[in-house]
Every structure is written in structure tokens, then in C-alpha cells.
A and B are shown apart, each in its own frame.
Chain A
Amino acid sequence: MADQPEQEAGPASPGSPLASPPPISSPKAGQPPAGSRPARAPQAGPSPAGPSPARPVRDGLVLGLAVGTSGLAFGAAAVGSGLSAWQACALSLLAYTGASQFALAAAVASGGGLIAGTAGAILLGSRNALYGLRLADLLGVRGGKRLLAAHGVTDETTAVALAQPGAAAAAAGFRATFASLYLTWNICTLAGALGAGRLGSPQSLGLDVVGPAAFLALIWPRLRAGRTERGVGLLGAAIAVGATPLLPAGMPVILAASAALAGTFAPPGHESA
């Protein structure tokens, strides 16, 4: 979605793209930008270590396929909650954010107030707004492309985009993950709503571990890049797990954003190899 073809010609790297530290973790990140537009060295030219866009695309396609199968669980849960199959599909097509969708289904199932249930489901979508803060800079999309890209902002697309070494690879990874996950999530929602979940559980294939394992792989370089990142990651995980018994599902993850707030007060330049 970013039109920066000059980086597409980077030589294929034999190593994993995830092995290179992301551009943003440079020590300059804490300094004020020189002009009205923040200066970002990695976008100044082709990165010598930049991988071919094939790798982020392939990684994104596979991740979308694997994680999208959890649409089966959503479709089944939605219909079990009293939503119609059409309503389950409408949610996956139009809301397209798992946590909010499960939350609304749970609210319908509880028979409680739909207004409160809707407000809670929307509130859970706020983490996508936080992802957008970072993606806006990385994808550089405008106009109609931005309207389309916005629909694709999820945990998965963000994780893949942020793990890439350059803006072009980030955009390619974002697009591939969005396309693959959107298709799989929606097809599986329909299948799950129609009862396909009874045929077998994605858990027996270990697909429930794909999400966390993929997220871990994608933030791994950032955790290695700096002490502040490691601290923020550990604090975020601790906050979320600690708050799980106390808050409704989904809220603990949002609360974990406060770990990032704490991280902004850490002295810059505490990077370790």
C-alpha cells in the first residue's frame, strides 16, 4: 500500500528478514525529528540487507491461512450465542477484528444489554487504533488506499509489517497478510456458522499455537534489540495475565498498552546487542 518501488529491488538475503533489527530501533529514535517530516534513515534508499519482497509475502500468506482457521471457532461460537449465520458473516466481513466479534457474540449470548455489549465490543477495537499510529508512518497510505488499508489493521498485519526491515517489505507483508487472513477468516466463519466445527478441531492440528508463536517470532528481533523493548514486552505480558481474572475478556490486552506508556519514560539509548 506504500508506493515505494525503489526498495523492491533489494537483493535477496539468505537470512531471515526477522533477523535484521527493525529500522525504528535505531538510537536516533528518541531524538526529535529535524523537520516537519520525521527523518527516517531506513527510507532514504535501498537497504543493503533488505530481503526480496517474496519473503514477507510468503510469511504473511501462511500466517493468514493458519490464523484464519480460528474463524471456524468464531462462526460456531456466534451461532451458538444466538446470532444468525448471516450476522456472524457480517461481523467477520465488516468488523473484521476477532476480539470485538467474540465479545459481541458473548454479549448476545448473555442476553444482557445490547448497547453495553456493543460499546464493549467497540472498546476492544481500540488496540487497532494504537497499531495505526505506527502503521500510518510505515505504510504511508492516502485517500482510497487508506480507507482500504484501515480495514486490514489487525494484530497479524501489524506484527508482519513491523517485523520487516523496510517500508516496501512492510507494505508487501501487510497486504499479503490482510488478503490471506481476510479470505480465510471469512470462509472459516461461514463454515463454522454452518456447523463445520463439528468435523474436527483446529486444536488437534496445533493451530491454536500458531498465533502466539507467530507473534513471538515477529516481535523477537525487537525484544533482542533493546532493553526497553524487553521490559515493555514483559510488563505488557504480566499486566495482561494478571488482569485476566479481574476484567472481561479482551480488556487485559488493552490495559497492557500502559506498558508502552511506561516505556516512553525509560531513558533512550539503552540499547544492548
Chain B
Amino acid sequence: MTGTWIAVLATAGGCYALKLAGLTVPRRLLGNARMRRFAELVPVALLAALIAVQAATSGQSLVLDPARLAGLAAAVLALALRAPFLLVIVVAAGTAAGLRALGVA
């Protein structure tokens, strides 16, 4: 049990240190044009990866969950129609929930 507590607190400390490290990176490092471009593009790469992983995987396997995919497709449609943010997520969640309630997916 003590070992588990040490693991819990070490994980917490390590995760916090990483978050703080990113925020405290010296400004002159970000003054470099390529470094700035990397910092701009990294959230796009990571968030796009998260979207894909949350949409199409479960654990270490690729899954096709029709309700999840339909919800995401509805979000894409709403975005293409320039719907505001909250409407996009309501439409996405509502589509997935509706399909599951109907037992379709």
C-alpha cells in the first residue's frame, strides 16, 4: 500500500513538473522561428491525434463504434454549417445518445 502511495505521489509530482516545465521554457528559445512554429503546430497534431484515438480506438484495438462515429460525423456537419461551439457538442452527443437509445448503434 505504501508503495502504491509513493507511485501515486511520484506520478502527481512528475506530471506537475512537466506542465510547469512547458510554461517556464525560456522566451529566447521561443524566439527561434522554427521553435515557434513547432509550438504552434504541436497542439494541432496532438489534438487531432486525440480526436482520432477517441473516435476509432479502444485500448489497443481499433474499433468502429457506429454511435461514436455518427456523433462525430454530426459534429463535422454542424461545423461545416458554421454552428457555434456549444451547438456542435450538443449535436454530437445527442446523435450518439439517440442512436444508442434507439438501439440502432
Contacts and interface: CB of A to CB of B under 8 A. Distances in A.
Contacts of B72: 209, 212-213, 216
Contact of B9 (A90, A234, A268): A90
B23 A232 contact: no
Given A31-B33, A216-B75, A237-B52, A91 B8 contact: yes
B60 A244 contact: yes
Nearest to B63: A244
Given A211-B54, A212-B50, A249-B60, A232 B89 contact: no
Contacts of A4: none
Interface string B13-37: 1111011111111011011011111
Contact of A134 (B11, B27, B43, B93): B43
Nearest to B96: A206
Contacts of A216: 51, 72, 75-76, 79, 88
A257 B38 CA distance: 9
A76 interface: no
A21 interface: no
Interface string A52-74: 00000011001100100000000
B23 A153 contact: yes
A115 B35 CA distance: 33
B33 A129 contact: no
Interface in A134-170: 134-137, 139, 141, 146-147, 149-151, 153, 155, 158-159, 162
Q: Which of A29, A31, A206, A214 has the most CB of B within 10 A?
A: A206
Q: Which of A162, A216, A235 has the most CB of B within 10 A?
A: A216
B46 interface: yes
Q: Which of A32, A131, A247 has the most CB of B within 10 A?
A: A131
B28 A253 contact: no
By DSSP majority rule, is chain A's interface helix, strand, loop, or mixed?
helix
Interface residues of B, number: 79
B62 interface: yes
A9 interface: no
A84 B4 CA distance: 9
Interface string B33-72: 1111111111111111111111111011110000110011
Contacts of B92: 206, 209-210, 212-213
B44 A229 contact: yes
Contacts of B18: 122, 125-126, 128-129
A113 to B, nearest CB: 10
A90 B4 CA distance: 12
A215 B55 CA distance: 11
A83 B4 contact: yes
A172 B92 CA distance: 25
Interface in A71-97: 82-84, 87, 90-91, 94-97
B66 to A, nearest CB: 12
15 contacts: A33-B31, A37-B31, A87-B4, A107-B7, A118-B10, A136-B23, A137-B27, A209-B68, A212-B92, A217-B75, A223-B44, A236-B44, A248-B60, A257-B42, A264-B38
